[in-house]
Structure formats: structure tokens, C-alpha cells
Structure 1
Amino acid sequence: MMRRVLMMAALGLATAAGAWEEPARGTADRKALMDALRPHAEWMLGAPVEFVVYELRRAGDVAFASVDAQRPGGAQIDISQTPGGLRGELDEEYMDGSTLQALYRKVGQTWVAVHWEIGATDAWYSDPALCAEYRSVLLEICPD
């Protein structure tokens, strides 16, 4: 939880005006971004999932999301009982719960979650190779 707070604080420190925007609740873009991430979350965490959005940024044809997956109604997900946990792909001892971060690209009219992680304990999206492509939505993580 503390790592999530620190990552969110780092993302919220400084943003260049107009560099990115947050798709508002109820908009087609917000729904499309969450729907692009949902199959990945459900493959690892089991269905159904809903997301609590901490950060959602879009600039042109790229986007970034930081969310927490939960069961409908707010129930916490038991990682050990998820498909990913049962397959040995997720280990709650080494994870920051059911948090997810994703980097998206818009292909035609479709948003695609190109890079994503569940339970990451570091800012994996600060990789220079990713910064080159997603800097506009990660200004504080990927300075010029």
C-alpha cells in the first residue's frame, strides 16, 4: 500500500498543462481503456473484476492507467485463490495486492493495453524504452 501511495504521489507532483487529460467518468474513452485492461485482469485475477481508478491519463494515441482491481461491490481479491495464484504466476508475498498499471496505444478506434503489470512493487513503466514512447503521459516519471 505504501508503495502505491508513493507512486501516485510521484505521478501527481508536476504535470505540464495540456500535456495529457483524464478521460472523465462515463466517457467512451474511459470505458474503452478499462475494457482493454479487463481481459488481462480477469485472466490473472478471475472474473468478474471492477476497477478503482487512481490515475488515468490520455495524450493523443497513448494512455496510462493505475488502478486497483476488486470484486463487484468492493470485495478484496484473495490473490492465492485467483487463476494466476493457482497457476503459480502470482505470489501475494511479493506483490502490491491487486494493483495494476498499464500503458496503452490506440490502434484505429481501439485502445490496446500493450504493457501491463499486476501487483508491481516498482515503477516498471519508467524504463527508458517505454519512456521514449509514453513520455507524454508519464511526465514526472520520464523527464526530458
Structure 2
Amino acid sequence: MILRVILLLSLASLVLHSHSAETPKPGSPDRKAILDALRVPVQKEIGFPVIFRVSHLKVKDNWAFLKGQPRTKDDKPIDYSKTPLDEEARTADELLVAVLKKTDGRWRVVEHAIFTTDVWWHGIHERLGAPAEIFDYSDS
């Protein structure tokens, strides 16, 4: 009887664990695919190649939420005065926020912003149908 209880608890733990949001490890194929998908619109906005310094990345049920900063290819802060985002850089905080969805085996950017003056993504999971546990609602 005790063995059955232990077995059931172990199975329940596995089921719960498999459904929790995860952070893809640096260098993992999923993380690379997410960052590469995000790189396309961000580089288009900024005007040159970038890398990302990620502060938050959670994935669940083919949804991803990321917070971080775009950086130059040599990992330096971006001088936005030399980009089309000069005005935004002077009036808002640099915080890259993005929601992505994996469809047909590919990550696609659903919404993103490089500069923000508020937590615009608050409650977005309800509108998009994304899992709430991937989101970080702090403003940094």
C-alpha cells in the first residue's frame, strides 16, 4: 500500500513538473530558435546586427516570454542616437519585451517592444491565450 502511494505521488510529481514553465538553457536549440526569431524584427528596427542579454525567458505550451536588452555584436550597449529609435531612447526605459509562439515548428514573434514606459504586457496572456506562468510582470 505504501509503495502504491509513493508511486502515485511520484507520477503526480512528474505530471506537474512536465507542465511547468521552463527556461531554455543558454546554447540550447530552443533558446537559439527563440532568439533568432526575435532578432529579425529587432535588427530591422535598430538597423544593425544585435545579440541579446536575456534577464527572463520562460517557455510553456509553445509560448515564450522574454525580457532583456539588445546589445551590439561585441556585447556593448547600443548608442541609440545613431538609430531610428533615438527619440524612444530619450523618453523610455530600454527593456526588450517579447511574446513568441511556436507554430508549424517555428518560433514567431507575436508582440514585442524595445522601449517601454509601463508594463504593457500585463494581462496579455488572457488576450492571447498564453500560459500566465511564463510572464514576468515586474518592470525591469
- TM superposition score category, shorter chain reference: 0.7 to 0.9
RMSD: 1.9
1:119 maps to 2:120:
no
Relative contact order (alpha carbons < 8 A, sep ≥ 6): 1 or 2 greater? 1
1:131 maps to 2:132:
no
Show structure 1 runs of 4+ deviating over 2 A: 16-19
TM-score, with length taken from structure 2? 0.76
Aligned-residue offset at 1:131: 2.1
CA contact (8 A) 1:21 1:59 kept: yes
Distance, in Å, in 1 between the alignment partners of 2:88 and 2:56 is 24
CA contact (8 A) 2:57 2:67 kept: yes
Q: Where in structure 2 are the equivalents of 1:1-144 lying within 5 Å? A: 19-85=20-86, 90-97=87-94, 99-126=95-122, 128=123, 130-132=124-126, 133-134=129-130, 135-138=132-135, 141=137
Aligned-residue offset at 1:124: 0.9
Aligned-residue offset at 1:75: 1.7
Distance, in Å, in 1 between the alignment partners of 2:85 and 2:117 is 17
Distance, in Å, in 2 between the alignment partners of 1:119 and 1:49 is 16
Distance, in Å, in 1 between the alignment partners of 2:121 and 2:20 is 18
- Structure with the higher fraction of residues in strand conformation: 2
Code of the residue aligned with 1:115 in structure 2: it is E
1:64 aligned counterpart, secondary structure: strand
Instruction: Tell me how many residue pairs correspond in the alignment.
Output: 118
Larger-gyration structure (1/2): 2
TM-score, with length taken from structure 1? 0.74
2:34 aligned counterpart, secondary structure: helix
For structure 2, which runs of at least 5 residues remain unmatched after alignment? Answer: 1-15
Aligned-residue offset at 1:37: 0.6
Residue 7 of structure 1: aligned partner: none
